Amino acid sequence: MRTMKYWTIAGLAVTNLMAGAAFADSHSAPLSGELKIFLDTSNPAPRATMEKMIADFGEMHPDLTIETTVIDREAYKTQIRNFLTADSPDVATWYAANRMGPYVRANLLEDVSDLWEDPEIAENLASTKGAMTIDGKQWGVPYTYYQWGMYYRKDIYEELGLSEPATFDEMKANCQAILDAGKKCYTIGTKFLWTAGGWFDYLNLRTNGFDHHMKLAAGEIKWTDDSVRQTFANWKELIDMGAFVDNHQTYSWQEALPFIVSGDAVEILIGNFAVAPLRESGLDDSKLDFYQFPPMDPSIPLAEDAPTDTFHIPAGAQNKDAARAFLKFVVSADVQTEINNGANLQQLPVNAKAAVDDDKFLKEGFEMLSTNSPGGVAQFFDRDFPAEMAAEAMQGLQEFMVFPDNLDDILNRLDKVSTRVYK
């Protein structure tokens, strides 16, 4: 059995990890030399998951020496450009879509489109391909993601005689029935802005589609464009109904959860990370359920927010053959099942042939993202838009939710920011 070294930035402490069981094709070509892997998975559970996965890969390739460096996630964000530019590793974690854009444009990441031509990847990771694509090429592979959608009080729906909406019109009709019952439709806390970004994402994806949303994120569509105004018009219908809890700008997302727990509000648009605190607050699966944000126009394919973590090969990597083999290993169905389930990442596998834990919401999210999101996978507002644009825009989105009559001023202001950011 083979021992591998793992290094951490804090103190460069060394721990030994014995190689575990292997999952990939036993007929893989033998690999040798050194493979350097940089990780930002510094929290205990994801770190242990990644280390075991790397050990499993190393067990398959006894002539390959693997050195793994684990860096605190926030420190990693400030260091990535430096280490991609000088003395780069062979494999590095990062994020999909716009977050990888600056490094693609700076020629710091390897084009791995050849991997995406493999039928096992092309067919089973199809929903994530758009998030890994810039200029028609793929620049890495995903290894985990999680769903967003509408979490709602199933018991209150049953009490009011409501069913999951199949269209946006049905969603509004449900909302009116909820309001008539003296409750708010949607709880939300916009104190830290990004939750308003989630609502914009879904309304724009449903109003205009994935390609439009990505063009807006890339600065190719003006905020004052009629298509964007239509998104805000659809949003304003809900605001004018009184659909959202009052004073949401004073709450964090955690502080907004008690409204759905008490039944004063019935639904929340959020990521699957909210399920655990809702369950801990007493909402078991007989009271809590989930549905995909419904379509507005049946001609627009459904796209979803599913923030995606990724592996990349730096352009300066020294062992690109081993790096490519590692990326293929990471996205294989068995490895995806292993790392995402149980006490590991507790998120969703990106491979459609992988299995998920026996958890109601993970199963529904996996089904939605694997088979019922033909429009593509967006990365969430503050990942898809450049940082400066996202910060300014999310302030505008929150302002719109509180003062919808300020829309013209908000959009004109965002056009000015866009001109500066994208020039």
Rounded Cα distance, 112 and 156, in Å: 48
Mean local confidence (pLDDT), 233-251: 98
Alpha helices for 61-167 (secondary structure H): 73-85, 101-105, 113-116, 119-124, 154-160
Lowest mean pLDDT among 7-11, 135-139, 192-196, 382-386: 7-11
Lowest mean pLDDT among 24-38, 109-123, 232-246: 24-38
Among residues 350, 356, 339, 345, the alpha carbon closest in space to that of 52 is found at 339
Q: What is the pLDDT of residues 18-66, one digit of tens each?
A: 333 334 443 356 899 999 999 999 889 899 999 999 999 999 999 999 9
Give buried/exposed letters for 184-218 (b at 16+ CB in 10 A, else e). bbbbbbbbebbbbbbbbbbbbbbbbbbebbbebbb
Rounded Cα distance, 325 and 305, in Å: 29
Per-residue confidence (pLDDT) for residue 22, from 0 to 100? 38
Q: Which domains does the chain have, with CATH numbers?
A: 3-146+307-378 (3.40.190.10), 148-305+386-422 (3.40.190.10)
